[in-house]
Chains A and B, each alone.
Chain A
């Protein structure tokens, strides 16, 4: 059994850990509120963008000659995966969940004998993926330096993807991120952005007759690159809200666990103190008896 002194030291150390996790939880809660607000504010933009593109792609007359970003290259050989994770740890299963989802997808691609390319955004994702997929990672990006998520950063990632696409480096592009549902639940998502999936065709919008200026093709070819940046921005916003949510619940758990541990250790400490006292008493009594 550990000595009284050791137990005391352990209690103190667990208590100070608890203080840290508690503080981190508070910080995450404050940040979560802001991140959630931002995510909500950013939604109309990406939704509108999606709507316009849906309307446009419905109205497009010549499907054969549609822009490549919409219809794809016609092949499905090289897959680009953009994995969006956080730059900081201590946020529960947040990063692991994304990576798990991504890994399952990677395995599927590789087992079909296709080429896999990875871009990681956020350093945690790179750390976890480099062990197995080092050769597949073509680029790693981290926005550690930018305090807030801004559209400018998302645009950088978007441009990178489009540049690679124009160089015919890949055929299909999928992004991985966590969708924020609530504080406890974040759902890892795989979203294909190139070619764009337009499966959610709204029945009502099909009979709309839009006037286009300039014509549809030109608008689409201008709009699609923007849409990619927008989707990435949306993913980043969702991700940051998820990260804070995940961290908050992880730290809440940690705080509770530390509390339980302190309780257990205190009981153990008291018991061994009592045992020591009893032992001393027995020694005194038996010493007196023997006289």
Chain B
């Protein structure tokens, strides 16, 4: 029996990625990293800034996400996100710029604690990329 399931990552603009042969997906869910294997219980959750790891027969792929929603149902994993990029395609200067934006966000007094938490997460992840 195969241990594979379907994944679809959707952007507002287009379908970002669609695969039918993933074995495991590790997502940065809101309350911590979460690994999803076949026949996982139906779940809806949020993503926080982090690395999305996709493990399939053809190897491992890594993506950087900032936010999103995740739904797993009947061995279909759909991820809706407005900000996702393959780590291979990310440029250093871009990453640094993003860090700066996030740092600004972190230092703003009027932002809520939740926003600050997200910003600090973002910085942490982005720094680990460099």
State the A residues within 8 Å of B (CB): 38, 41-42, 44-46, 48-49, 51-52, 55-56, 150-151, 154-155, 208-214, 219, 222-223, 226, 230, 233
Our pick among B45, B78, B80, B82 for the contact of A213 (Cβ within 8 Å) is: B45
Our pick among A42, A56, A208, A222 for the contact of B14 (Cβ within 8 Å) is: A42
Task: Indicate with 1 or 0, residue by residue over B1-44, a CB within 8 angstroms of chain A CB atoms.
Answer: 00000001011111100000000000001110010000001111
| B81 to A, closest residue via Cβ | A45
On whether A48 and B13 interact (CB within 8 A), knowing A210-B44, A212-B43, A219-B44, the answer reads: no
Is B73 close to A, CB under 8 A?
yes
Is B46 within 8 A of A151, CB to CB? no
What is the CB-to-nearest-CB distance from A58 to chain B, in angstroms, rounded to a whole number? 12
Residues of A within 8 A of B30 (CB): 213-214
Is B125 close to A, CB under 8 A?
no
Residues of B within 8 A of A51 (CB): 71
Residues of A within 8 A of B8 (CB): 44
| B67 to A, closest residue via Cβ | A226
| B41 to A, closest residue via Cβ | A211
Is B12 within 8 A of A213, CB to CB? no
Is B55 close to A, CB under 8 A?
no
Q: Which of B12, B15, B29 has the most CB of A within 10 A?
A: B12
Q: What's the tally of chain B residues with a CB closer than 8 Å to chain A?
A: 23
Is B42 within 8 A of A223, CB to CB? no
- Complexed CA–CA distance, A25 and B34 (Å): 52
Which secondary structure dominates chain A's binding surface? helix
On whether A223 and B13 interact (CB within 8 A), knowing A45-B80, A214-B31, the answer reads: no
- Complexed CA–CA distance, A46 and B69 (Å): 12
Is A52 within 8 A of B44, CB to CB? yes
Residues of B within 8 A of A52 (CB): 44, 69, 71, 80
Closest 8 CB pairs of A and B: A41-B14, A151-B12, A213-B45, A211-B43, A45-B10, A210-B42, A45-B12, A211-B41
Give 17 CB contacts A-B under 8 Å.
A42-B13, A45-B10, A51-B71, A52-B69, A55-B44, A208-B42, A208-B73, A209-B41, A209-B42, A210-B43, A212-B45, A213-B30, A214-B30, A219-B44, A219-B46, A222-B46, A223-B69
In chain B, residues 34-83, which have Cβ atoms closer than 8 Å to a Cβ of chain A?
34, 41-46, 69, 71, 73, 78, 80, 82
On whether A230 and B31 interact (CB within 8 A), knowing A55-B44, A151-B82, A209-B42, the answer reads: no
What is the CB-to-nearest-CB distance from B109 to chain A, in angstroms, rounded to a whole number? 19
- Complexed CA–CA distance, A56 and B14 (Å): 24
What is the CB-to-nearest-CB distance from A240 to chain B, in angstroms, rounded to a whole number? 13
